A and B are shown apart, each in its own frame.
Chain A
Amino acid sequence: MKKRDVDRRTFLRGSAAAAAGAGLVALGPWADALAATISTKALSSRQAATLLVMTRRIYPHDRLEDRYYVGVVEAIDGKAAADPAKAKMLSDGIARLDRALGKPFKDAAAAQQVAMLKGMASDPLFQEVRGTSVVALYNQPDLWRKFGYEGPSFDKGGYLHRGFNDLAWLPDPPETASPKPE
């Protein structure tokens, strides 16, 4: 990989990710560049790019860097690699989507992509991508902190001495309702 490519990708990631949340910018070039960095087992690079765009549109979080969405596409790719019927469904679904639009879904305008997805609630492609994403995206432990979720606590002794009752913007309940810790 040439350094110039890396720089270009870094630039694309930063700019597209920032714009993705605002929903203003077409994600196609961002997705193409990012897809080229993923080593997929079942999906083509173009299909991976399409799924990157879909997952960003389905679960748009400004605070999340590209790698979390790459994790989702890798999860979908893993399922496709293990199940040829699923791989075909994804492939056919993406082709059908592109045909319906008259151009690649990934290169369409943001509003058009969202409108298209809204009409796909019962489509197996949409269901597969959304259903896998909602688990694979939010189940990445290094993403939890970005939402303020602290994950496992037993190994840290729970929250008994680490803020289980540290909320201070409301009055404390009386001890009859909420006794002090023993």
Chain B
Amino acid sequence: MANYGLNDESVVVVIGSGAGGGTLANELCQKGVNVVLLEAGKRYGIEDFVNDEWNSFVQLSWLDMRTTSGAWRVSKDFPNLPAWICKTVGGSTVHWAGASLRFQEHEFRVRSEYGDIKGASLLDWPLTLQDLEPYYAKAEDKMGVTRTNGIPGLPGNNNFKVMYAGAKKLGYKNVHTGRMAINSRARDGRPGCQQIGFCFQGCKVGAKWSTGYVEIPKAEATGRLDLRPEAQALQIEHGPDGKVTGVLYADADGNRQLQRARIVCVAGNSIETPRLLLNSASSTYPDGLANSSGQVGKNYMRHTTGSVYATFEKPVNMHRGTTMAGIISDEAGHDPARGFAGGYELETLSLGLPFMAAFLDPGGWGADFCAALDDYNHMAGMWIVGEDMPQESNRVELHPTERDKYGLPVPNVHFDDHPNDVALRNHAYRQGAAVYDAVGAKKTYAVPPYPSTHNLGTCRMSANARDGVCNGWGQTHDIANLFISDGSQFTTGAAENPTLTIVTLAIRQADFIADQMAKNAI
């Protein structure tokens, strides 16, 4: 493992070690680039993960102070937990479910495809599916995605059996155990899935791909990675020419350190990434870094989500086996006849009893609520992942008065559903319930969205510098040596889980950065 000096101006500093940052760091190291990787959280090995929902939540989650506003129900039920994401080496790839779906061709050009939707700040991406296809292929190989590269699908669990039978009765055609970055057989030095059932709590056997124990050790093996856990980035500094020069961070002891850099790549997830740019405001950049468009923090997306659970006469035991065990893709396309733009995936999901009590109906209580929990082992469940409309008013902004322990403004996350989001969600609730009714559900439950796990779009890509924060390579329009390297780049959200696309963009960005460095362009 490398150990670069704070004054070493030749290094690339990557902030955040999740799907974007962890992948980018490894890809750069493989190309011979020296990388300092700053991660706010601690480093855990798989032996540290716990099969216990609340204890794991406390171990892995980003629990630093955040506030919320807007009409979304999360703001009422979880006012200080807008997002359920991780603060640890590996970021949210530690607790992700593993679903690895490519975006559809039209989802890169939704402004053209959907037209002008009132209140939505839709924009076409500055790249196409064809641009990404070779990189999607590399990402799928890297992550060992099932049903690609000759890797068999995972075996379906009980929860999937219920979904499959109901979906087929409804006439759905595209139903299977998904494309998952979970080994269905031993691969890449990691074992096959043991159907443990705690995917969200960190995979105890490492069958699920995560940057924490896959990409980062590979980067360390090159001798070029200097990983610094418990290093909270505070500000990005710049020189008189406007280029960024380094990152001020607080180390594990709370001491401030300034790491010099040739290039800075920000991958702090879509709340911390814009917050860091905004907190880096200076006399040269009074509105924050890379913000001449005013778009930093804007167009926050979280996917239109929700869950459908159903109880049955006979047992299901949905908690056994992979959390996301199967998928229905028939509703993922764009079919305006349904009364909304965009589409959605339906994916099995299960929660343990402690989280089911917390999330089935947040704030719920009484005899009916308890009757649902009494049927816990007779319950099947699925999650809705749908495209949400970007809206400029949905945003991550600096709180006017609340400060963190370093004296910096905490982020406020503001979100309101767009009418299209509501229409899509209601359609998905109906279809999800119909799947379960088709196989004899006693009762179905439409469950509101959990705190956001898919945080997207707050530093979006745009062809034109006035419409967004970065170009098709994630390079900020304003500052050539400052990059956005996580889901913040997404111009729009698509209907698919975002991790595969984040990894794909990181691999592609690494090519670009290495090339630009070789040419001395940055």
A67 to B193, CA, bound (A): 38
A61 partner residues in chain B, CB cutoff 8 A:
370, 373-374
- B195 within 8 A of partner (CB): yes
A68 contacts chain B at the CB level, 8 A cutoff: no
Q: Given the complex of chains A and B, what is the CA–CA distance between A179 and B365 in angstroms?
A: 40
Comparing B125-133, B157-165, B235-243, B285-293, the segment that makes contact with chain A is B157-165
> B381 on the interface (CB 8 Å rule)?
no
Given A165-B155, A170-B162, check contact A159 B370 (CB 8 Å).
no
B501 at the A/B interface (Cβ < 8 Å)?
no
Q: What residue in chain B is nearest A170 (Cβ atoms)? A: B165
Contact A165/B370 with A149-B377, A158-B197, A173-B164 known, Cβ cut-off 8 Å: no
Report how far A178 CA is from B177 CA in the complex, Å: 6
Interchain CB contact under 8 A, A58 and B365 = yes
Q: In the complex, A130 Cα to B194 Cα: how many Å? A: 36
Which residues from 128 to 182 on chain A have a C-beta closer than 8 Å to any C-beta of chain B? 130, 134-135, 137-139, 144, 147-155, 157-160, 162-167, 169-173, 176-182
For residue A60, which residues in chain B have a CB less than 8 angstroms away from its CB? 366-367, 370
Q: Is A63 positioned at the interface, with any CB of B under 8 Å from its CB?
A: yes
Whether the Cβ atoms of B317 and A152 lie closer than 8 Å is no
Give the Cβ gap from A25 to chain B, nearest Cβ, in Å: 15
Q: Is the CB of B376 within 8 A of A167?
A: no
Please pick, from B156, B319, B439, the residue contacting A149 in the complex, using a CB distance under 8 A: B319
Contact between A59 and B54, CB atoms less than 8 A apart: no
Tell whether A158 pairs with B377 under 8 Å between CB atoms, given A60-B367, A138-B353, A153-B51: no
Contact A169 B357 (CB under 8 A): no
Does A33 touch B at the CB level, under 8 Å?
no
Say how far B320's CB is from chain A's closest CB, in angstroms.
Answer: 4
| Contact (Cβ within 8 A) A159 B161 | no
Whether the pair B164, A178 counts as a contact (CB closer than 8 A) is yes
Report A-chain residues with C-beta under 8 Å of the C-beta of B370: 59-61
B53 to chain A, nearest CB (A): 8
* A179 touching B184, Cβ below 8 Å: yes
Does A23 count as interface, using CB distance less than 8 angstroms?
Answer: yes
Q: Are B317 and A148 touching (Cβ within 8 A)?
A: yes
Residues of B within 8 A of A23 (CB): 367
> How many of chain A's residues touch chain B, expressed as a range?
35 or more
Contact A154 B315 (CB under 8 A): no
Question: Any chain B CB within 8 A of the CB of A114?
Answer: yes
Pairwise interchain contact B175-A177, C-beta atoms closer than 8 A: yes
Partner of B376, one of A148, A166, A179: A148
Interface of B is mostly: loop
A162, B357: Cα distance in complex, Å: 25
Q: Is B6 an interface residue (CB 8 A)?
A: no
Q: Is the Cβ of A114 less than 8 Å from the Cβ of B176?
A: no
Interface contact B52-A152, CB-CB below 8 Å: yes
Contact of A151 with B315 at beta-carbon distance under 8 Å, contacts A164-B157, A171-B165, A177-B156 already known:
no
Say whether B321 faces chain A, with CB atoms less than 8 Å apart: yes
A101 to B176, CA, bound (A): 57
Cα distance, A63 to B376, chains bound together (Å): 13
B363 in contact (CB, < 8 A): yes
Cβ-based interface call for B196 (8 A): yes
* Shortest Cβ gap from B6 to chain A (Å): 40
- In whole angstroms, how far apart are the Cα atoms of A130 and B358 in the complex? 11
Chain A neighbourhood of B41, CB < 8 A: none
**Chain A residues, CB < 8 A from B473:** none
A182, B192: Cβ atoms closer than 8 Å: yes
Closest to A169 in B: B314
From residue 241 to 270 of chain B, which have CB atoms closer than 8 A to chain A? none
Q: Of B156, B160, B162, B373, which contacts A147 at CB under 8 A? A: B373
Complex CA–CA separation, A95 to B370 (angstroms): 28
**A167–B315 CB distance below 8 A:** yes
Task: Write out the residue numbers on chain B whose beta carbons fall within 8 Å of the beta carbon of A182.
Answer: 152, 184-185, 192
Instruction: Give A121 to B316 CA distance when docked, in angstroms.
Output: 33
Given contacts A159-B195, A159-B196, contact A147 B376 (CB under 8 A): yes
B150 interface contact, C-beta 8 A: no
Q: Give chain A residues whose Cβ lies under 8 Å from the Cβ of B161.
A: 165, 167, 170, 172-173, 178
The interface residues of chain A lying within 8 Å CB-to-CB of B165 are: 170-171, 173
Q: A154-B51, A177-B175, A182-B192 are in contact. Are A167 and B158 (CB under 8 A)?
A: yes
Given A160-B195, A165-B321, A139 contacting B354 (CB threshold 8 A): yes
Q: Mark A36-54, 1 if CB is under 8 A from B, else 0.
A: 0000000000000000000
The minimal Cβ–Cβ distance linking A69 to chain B, given in whole angstroms, is 13
Find chain A residues with CB under 8 A from B367 CB: 23, 60
Residues of A within 8 A of B319 (CB): 149-150
Once bound together, how far apart are the Cα atoms of A181 and B366, in whole Å? 41
Say yes or no: B197 contacts A173, CB within 8 Å. no
The 8 A-B pairs at the shortest CB distance, nearest first, are namely A148-B377, A178-B156, A158-B194, A152-B51, A164-B321, A158-B196, A149-B353, A138-B357
Query: What are 10 of the A-B contact pairs (CB < 8 Å)?
Result: A134-B365, A149-B352, A151-B352, A159-B196, A160-B194, A163-B158, A165-B158, A165-B161, A167-B158, A178-B164
Apart from A138-B373, A167-B317: 8 A-B pairs, beta carbons within 8 A: A61-B373, A121-B363, A138-B353, A150-B319, A153-B51, A154-B198, A159-B196, A162-B320
Where the two chains meet, the residues of B that have a C-beta atom closer than 8 Å to any C-beta of A are 50-54, 152-158, 160-162, 164-165, 175-177, 184-185, 192-198, 204-205, 314-317, 319-321, 326, 352-354, 356-358, 363, 365-367, 369-370, 373-374, 376-378, 439
